[in-house]
Chain A
Amino acid sequence: MLHSETLIYALLGLPLVASLGVLLLRKWPNLRDGQAVLIGLLTAACAIEFFARGADGTSLTLLAMTPSLSISFTPEPLGLLFALVAGCLWPLATVYTISYLRGVHEDNQTRFMFFYAIAIHAAMAIALSGNLLTLFVFYEILTFSTYPLVTHKGTEDARQAGRVYLGILVASSVVFLLFGIIGVWVIAGTLDFTAGGILAGKIDPIYVPFLLGLFAFGIGKAALMPLHRWLPAAMVAPTPVSALLHAVAVVKAGVFTVLKVAIYIFGLDFLTSTGASEWLIIVASFSILAASIVALRKTNLKARLAYSTVSQLGYIVLGAALASPLAASGAALHIATHAAGKITLFFCAGAIYVAHHLSDIKDMDGLGRRMPITYGAFALAALSIIGVPPLGGAWSKFMLMGGALDGQHMLVLVVLMVSSLLNLVYLGEIVLRGFFAPAKAGSVADGGYAEAPWACVVPLCITALISILLFFSVDFFILSFTG
């Protein structure tokens, strides 16, 4: 029987071991990548074990600066869910990455694998962090470790995108988020995540919306409009980065932080009783709709998926802003369901690129008949994102709608429905064109069966199946938050 403390060390340490292994074994690519997959599987096993066992209040302090400032890790259900999502998708993404990098002959594979593992380490540390300071430190490490991945191609375009990426994420966090954290520390005297929040009764309610704003806009990784531009910019990175980091680890770290701050710093009851998050409901709703509309107009597949992500992240922020226990549970579930769905979509986009070097939706007419497995998985994942049963996304949207009803926010219901409709249009178009549109004569899509290499296809099938699994075993993933 493993001790909880051992599991914390394992989740934090294994990705570091993997990154070290990547460096040491750089001369032998097969060994280098093989150990990364193995350690990834081990991490996934630890994450599953820890999630199944649940948090038992174990806390681990690595460094104590002053009595109220420390680097410490305290797992709780929401953090374990995020660790589970990141931990389970990491080995799948690693297999996919290896196949992708070799398929398109990327340079500097060792550097890529190294920072990939470091990013997961940072995501795990964010998931398990016991206070805002720890979270902030690893939030920044996540930003800096993903920068070399975004600019991996080294072209002027990539560097320009990297500048936008780092500029928005670092500036927003250093200006707003850090100020918010210091504000909380001054007001509450602590930064520890505590069930029920730490601010109630210590701050004049008129300041609460302002403080919440510092967090909502300081956490640039949540991609709330107008701070979303870094996400489409980051699409210049190789697709495995977009898949694991910009559909799962990085963006989920953002919305996870928003949710965690709402639940464990402000406290849901405190937010509802002060009405401090009403404005955030409007901003998040706007973000959901506006990003969907932009997605409609994008014909580059990855750009469309990126705006779809911006829109879907809005759901989770919305769940935090609604501040009812049901909405918060729905938002937490959406972290898992959207992760499974969106990583599948990106895997498919990457598979299409590896197999046929296509990135524009207009060129993909009829492609589904050449790549039936990829397109089948894409269709399943798209349905999950739209929220159609029997796929995981249905539950999280359902719970968010329930949360909106709880708070009598009828307009939010409308927003959620319209957004589902928009999802259907911009994701459905890709599937329909792929399967039913006639291929243009002489185009790549015109030809016989031609899938990407199996190591690309197998992971995306597994993640698509996870979307179905999430629907039927949803009990396992629903967290309940009180007050």
Chain B
Amino acid sequence: MKTRNRLALASLTASTALAVAFLVPTTASAHGTLSDPASRVYTCKQEGPENPKSEACKAAVAAGGTQAFYDWNEVSLLDAGGRHREIIPDGKLCSAGRDKYRGLDLQRADWPAKRISAGSLTVTYHASAPHSNSNFEFYLTRQGWSPTQPLRWSDLVHLQTFNNQNPTTFTNWTLNIPQRTGRHIIYSIWQRVVGSAEAFYTCSDVDFGGGVTPPPTTTSNPTPTTTTTPPPVGGTWAAGTTYQTGNRVTYNGLGYECVQAHTAIAGWEPPNTPALWKRV
């Protein structure tokens, strides 16, 4: 019924583009990140995605590629709608749980950090596409947290929230920063309120001084587990199996023949992929 109303309304509007602009929640018209203290993505973007200078940005690019840093203003989830703690797993807060941004989750003590101290701190949000009516939440890691540990939701201490904000390209807020020692993270969530459920997430490294310099981070590369799937002899279609052209399977009681070699994955079930399977 809701859909019909929307459609009926749309058909009344002279211009579909206009209708889209007003009736449809847009996917991605707001974009941005914290520029001061600079978020990790902003820092590496400023250093240059292809030739980053700091060891941390070099490692982040090595771990996850450069694209994340070209898209520095999109560390976001389109369907967040306030469910941040539900949909972003512990340890992946800086990437918002997105594989594209996995380099931002690296647990290192050498992320470029702004030197700050307790008291008032002005922070700046750089919105390349600002959007009205948004809520901005700010957090600081708890005393005792270390950047060589995963960042978990329970590590965050709420500082302040600014509701119903209308950000411009550069928006400042003043935070009251409590006492800490050593390295910490200022975490922010920009939740859009009107027209979209999209939310943006930022991790900015800060240093209060007085911390112990931890030993250099040693990254252990887990030995890749090579799973070789035995070639199928007929049988039921199964994700993870590599099929060659001419292999036959059954799926939901129907027979299919592989027309292009591939490793089967969820979403590529035979009835959905005429490019890979034909009915026999």
Do A and B pair up? The answer is no
